Amino acid sequence: MKVTVDVDCTPEEARRFLGLPDLGPVHDVYLDKIKETMKDGITPDTIETLVKSWGPMSDAGLSMWTRFFDQLGNAGSSSKK
């Protein structure tokens, strides 16, 4: 037997019904931070923070990426000789 139920509600109503948190304020803060970063420009500190958040193990992940990019840079400069 197959039963289908259609519920007509807004996403906000569905969120409340399911007991999910309202992440609207968090989303607004995130967008404000992105807008501020775009206005001020990207700095090396911004890139470092971004890469730290991507990689596993925080500083160890950053060290891995730093060595990786250093090796790429060294390989590119040695091939020009």
Kindly list the domain boundaries of the chain, sorted by start residue: 13-79
pLDDT digits (tens, 9 = 90+) for 16-75: 999 999 999 999 998 898 888 778 887 777 777 777 776 666 667 667 777 888 887 776
Measured at the CA of 73, the angle between CA 81 and CA 47, to 5 degrees, comes to: 155
Whether the pLDDT of residue 76 is over 70: the answer is no
Q: Given this model, what pLDDT does residue 20 score?
A: 93
Centre a 10 Å sphere on the Cβ of residue 48 and count the other Cβ atoms it contains.
13
Centre a 10 Å sphere on the Cβ of residue 15 and count the other Cβ atoms it contains.
15
